[in-house]
Amino acid sequence: MDAPLQAWRRLNRWLLPWRCLLCGDAGADGLDLCAACAAELPRNTRCCARCALPLASPAAMCGACQRRPPPWDAAWAPFRYGWPLDRLEARFKFGRDLAAGRALAELWRRLPSPTERPALILPVPLHRARLRQRGYNQALELARPLGRAFGVPVRHGLLVRARATAAQSELDAAARRRNVRGAFAVRTGPALPSHVAVLDDVMTTGATLAECVRALKRAGAQRVDVWALARAPTPGRSG
Ligand SMILES: [Zn+2]
Ligand SMILES: [Zn+2]
């Protein structure tokens, strides 16, 4: 970071000190969260090694992965989608609260990361209409600080929405898969690096990420990892 920008940030922080976005106490550790609230964010340490589905105890493959192996090569979702992370995520995604997104990205990048780094991070794209309505792509906002921290370039606009899809939140697993089938495409251009990661904010059934992975593999990527801030516990669902 250059000196004027650093000085500007210091001045800003003096005028606007870190404040916990959840309880209003003083922030800690260079975050807009206090230490107690940050510690409450549920970590996804016990999960399926293949798809990061939260489990009671860690497993190499959950039942869903055994029935239907996912198309990606590795998954990294360090948090569980639950209280109080869901509050920050809702503010970030639906409340135009970019400070909540910055705090989430900062927490994410501080966690132990996969040792085999991709050569490129591709955020899950939003359809134009949704992007216009929201004003930003939450996946891209999370990807940028992560990419900077890991020294991995972030490319948006390479993986694109081929068509608009209905919101996934109201659909069951099978309907989610149908809803996103063929929804993504990779722009033609220079060859993709052999190892890339596709990044989203929350992974629920994984249908959206799986469809992105298929598009990237069709476009020539050899290894595609999926990265999500949080994985929702969805027992009994697959895909
Ligand atoms: Zn707090
Ligand atoms: Zn699994």
pLDDT at residue number 72: 98
Return the ligand number nearest the Cα of 69: 2
Report pLDDT for 216: 97
Cα 19 to middle of ligand 1, angstroms: 8
CA of 232 to the centre of ligand 2 (A): 12
Instruction: Report, in angstroms and rounded to the nearest whole number, the Rg of the chain calculated over CA atoms.
Output: 18
Q: In the predicted model, what is the mean pLDDT of residues 49-68?
A: 95
Whether the per-residue pLDDT at 13 is higher than 80: the answer is no
Ligand sitting nearest the alpha carbon of 63: 2
d(CA 9, ligand 1 centre) in Å: 22
- Average pLDDT, integer, range 220-229: 98
- Which listed ligand is nearest to 74 at the C-alpha? 2
Ligand 2 geometric centre to CA of 81 (Å): 16
Residue 218's pLDDT band, with cuts at 50, 70 and 90, is: very high
Q: What percent of the chain has pLDDT over 90?
A: 74
Residue 27 Cα to ligand 1 midpoint, Å, equals 7
Q: Is the per-residue pLDDT at 50 higher than 90? A: yes
How far apart are the CA of 59 and the centre of ligand 2, in A? 8
The pair phi, psi for residue 23, each rounded to 5°, is: -120, -10
Query: Contact at 8 Å (CB) between 197 and 213?
Result: no
Taking the CA of 52 as reference, the closest ligand is 2
Q: pLDDT band at 1, cuts 50/70/90?
A: low
Q: How far is the CA of 42 from the centre of ligand 2 (A)?
A: 19
**What residues are neighbours of ligand 1 (ion), with CB under 5 Å?**
20, 22-23, 25, 34, 37
Q: Please tell me the pTM assigned to this model.
A: 0.90
163-216 per-position pLDDT tens digit: 888 888 778 888 888 888 888 999 988 889 999 999 999 999 999 999 999 999
Residue 239, pLDDT > 50, answer: no
Q: Could you read off the pLDDT of 106-125 as tens digits, one per residue?
A: 999 999 889 999 999 999 99
Residue 225's φ and ψ, nearest 5 degrees, are -100, 155
Neighbours of 178 (CB within 10 A): 14
- From ligand 1's centre to the CA of 26, what distance in Å? 8
Give the strand pairing for 223-231 and 74-76: parallel
Give the C-alpha separation, 140 to 17, whole Å. 26
Q: Tens digit of pLDDT for each residue in 129-177?
A: 889 999 999 999 999 999 999 999 999 999 999 888 888 877 888 888 8
Q: If you average pLDDT over every residue of the chain, what do you get?
A: 91
Ligand closest to Cα of 24 equals 1
**pLDDT of 14 over the 70 cut:** no
d(CA 221, CA 195): 6
Q: Are strands 184-186 and 159-161 parallel, antiparallel or unpaired?
A: antiparallel
Counting Cα atoms < 13 Å in the Cβ hemisphere of 61 gives: 9
- For residues 176 and 184, the answer to whether their CB atoms sit within 8 Å is no
The β-bridge relationship of strands 74-76 and 184-186 is: unpaired
